[in-house]
Amino acid sequence: MAGKLTLDDLKKAAKSGEIDTVLAVLVDMQGRLMGKRFQIEFFLDSAHKETHSCNYLLATDMEMMTVDGYKSTSWEAGYGDYTMKPDLSTLRRVPWLEGTALVLCDVLDHRTHADVPHSPRAILKRQVARLEAIGLKPMMATELEFFLFRESYEEAQENCHSGMTPISAYNEDYHIFQTTKEENVMRALRNGLQGADIPVENSKGEADAGQEEINVRYADALTMADRHVIIKNATKEIAWSKGRSVSFMAKWNDKAAGNSSHIHQSLWSLDGKPMFFDEKVKYGMSDLMRNYVAGLLHHASEITCFLAPNINSYKRFMAGTFAPTKAIWSMDNRTAGYRVCGDGTKSVRVECRVGGADLNPYLAMSALLAAGIDGIENKRELEPEFVGDAYGGKEAREIPATLRAATTELDGSKMLRAAFGDDVIDHYVHAARFEQLEFDRRVTDWEVARGFERA
């Protein structure tokens, strides 16, 4: 596909002057791209083999604060280096940045060159390998939602992110005329991604004023996670270049809809057969699929922290907003946390609707796969489907309502500790508890407005 580069392609582009800069990036705990801009001559001379970064990059909060208490790194240990190993299969052009290419890096221990176990890409690769060992390949797609604003990021910062103006004045779900007004950003995004080896399906207006959705082709899990983080970065960079800003917050405003990142999942054989499909049974859901979905539901509370990693993530779980509140499965039902789509066809799959657009795709996908693998290994029986409005399901399994509750579930998960390792789970539990601590000690605008005079 156009946009994909081999190392030989890059050498030719360097010689012609077409590309002069290479972004070598890792993915941090929050799912952001961190790394260096290499002059192409140096990248081709040595950095295509490996480079280095400070190991605090996988032990900070959203503000890049060096958080105390991590086992993996600390002031006492001196905050040494990680090795960044470029995965040259991810090398691609970045059409929206002049003369630029990008490559994703695996994060390795500086001394042993083993994968750093809590690095998001390594966690996902481990779950993919578990499935490959039993002859299965996970295929996934993420649907990303975001809000597009008239103000630039700089204007938003100057105004303390108050009084932001969504790009449209009304709910633009599927609206063609309104989305025509936004095409200077969205067309640049679609074409930019397509030119960066990310095959785009479509963009559309979403269910609120100024809300957008971008959809790309499904792929194997690791490729999809790689695409996801590049899509988010591209959206921000392209909006910024047009004098606009975007937000992937799960809930940017309590009066607006939330931003989701639905994750579609299916398992295939290594030779390309859809293993979730069995034409002889109801809905075409094979026994394998039923076991997998049963695993998702059995461990739904434990995996929520990786689907909703921030305090703000839980503001999205409100009845009547198309964001779920119940971790149940249902057939083609957008009120359910787990929706089965494509029934009766080879495309039958399960869509997890729990995650917000603020999730880290590697961690979210890893947690879902680990839960599904547990369902397969233990041949868990799928509970009866939920029919009707899940918001009103009084006996239905609830999604944890706060980060505090989800962190407790994560900490106590024997399944995830077995799948990821104790040190990895402890690492992310520590991150979640710090996030909670930081919020708990803050005084919010809501509290001041409510209590300044009346308390």
Measure the CA–CA gap between 89 and 103, rounded to whole angstroms: 8
Final residue in a domain of this structure, among 55, 83, 116:
116
Backbone angles phi, psi at 396, to 5 degrees: -75, 150
Query: Is residue 250 within 8 Å of 346, Cβ to Cβ?
Result: no
Task: Let me know whether 195 and 215 are in one domain.
Answer: yes
One domain, residues 83 and 140: no
Q: Looking at 21-25, 263-267, 349-353, 442-446, which range is the least confident one? A: 442-446
* Residue 337, CA atoms < 13 Å, CB-side half-sphere: 28
Q: What is the largest CA-CA distance in the chain?
A: 69
User: What pLDDT shows up at residue 1?
Assistant: 52
Query: How confident is the model at residue 74, as a pLDDT?
Result: 84
SS3 call for 183: helix
Residue 140 lies in a domain: yes
Share of the chain residues as helix, strand and coil, in percent rounded to the nearest 5 = 40, 20, 40
Q: Examine the domain organization and report whether 188 and 67 are in the same domain.
A: no
Residues 123-162 pLDDT 10s: 999 999 999 999 999 999 999 999 999 999 999 999 999 9
- Do the domain assignments include residue 67? yes
Q: Mind listing the pLDDT tens digit for each residue in 72-117?
A: 998 888 898 999 999 999 999 999 999 999 999 999 999 999 999 9
Instruction: Share the mean pLDDT of the chain.
Output: 96
Q: Do both 347 and 398 map to the same domain?
A: yes
More confident residue, 393 or 32: 32
Do 431 and 352 fall into the same domain? yes
Mean of the pLDDT values across residues 375-381?
98
The answer to whether residue 452 sits within a structural domain is no
- Tell me, yes or no, whether 455 lies in a domain: no
Among all chains, which residue has been given the structure tokens 């149940």? 328
Which residue range forms the structural domain that includes residue 361? 128-446
Instruction: Examine residue 270 and state whether it is found in any structural domain, yes or no.
Output: yes
What's the pLDDT at 76? Answer: 85
pLDDT, one tens digit per residue, over 255-280 is: 999 999 999 999 999 999 999 999 99
Whose CA is closest to 359, among 28, 25, 31, 27?
31
Does an H or E element contain 53, and which? strand 51-54
In Å, what is the CA distance from 238 to each residue of 14, 245, 246?
24, 9, 10
Tokens 């695409």 -> residue: 227
pLDDT in tens, 176-230: 999 999 999 999 999 999 999 999 999 999 999 999 999 999 999 999 999 999 9
Same structural domain, 362 and 421: yes
Within-domain flag for 107: yes
Residues 110 and 138 in one domain: no
CATH of the domain at 28: 3.10.20.70
Res 78: pLDDT: 85
Domain closes at, from 65, 96, 116: 116
Classify residue 122: in a domain, yes or no: no
Residue with tokens 């499965």: 329
Q: Would you state the pLDDT for residue 69? A: 92
Q: 95 with 75: CB under 8 angstroms? A: no
Residues 422 and 318 in one domain: yes
Contact in structure between 34 and 3 (CB atoms under 8 Å) = no
Residues 6+ apart with CB under 8 A from 49: 85, 86
DSSP three-state, residue 339: strand
Regarding whether 281 and 181 lie in a shared domain, the answer is yes
pLDDT reading at 2 higher than 80: no
The CATH code of the domain that includes 157 is 3.30.590.10
pLDDT tens readout for residues 383-422: 999 999 999 988 899 999 999 999 999 999 999 999 999 9
Query: Which of 86, 116, 146 corresponds to the end of one domain?
Result: 116
Residues 59 and 169 in one domain: no
Residues in the chain: 455
Question: Do 60 and 174 sit in the same domain of this protein?
Answer: no
Over 90: is that where the pLDDT of 49 sits? yes
- Residue 411 in 3-state DSSP? helix
The predicted structure's pLDDT at residue 146: 98
449 pLDDT more than 70: yes
Q: Is residue 454 part of a domain?
A: no
Number of domains in the chain: 2
Considering the domain architecture, whether residues 287 and 148 belong to the same structural domain is answered as yes
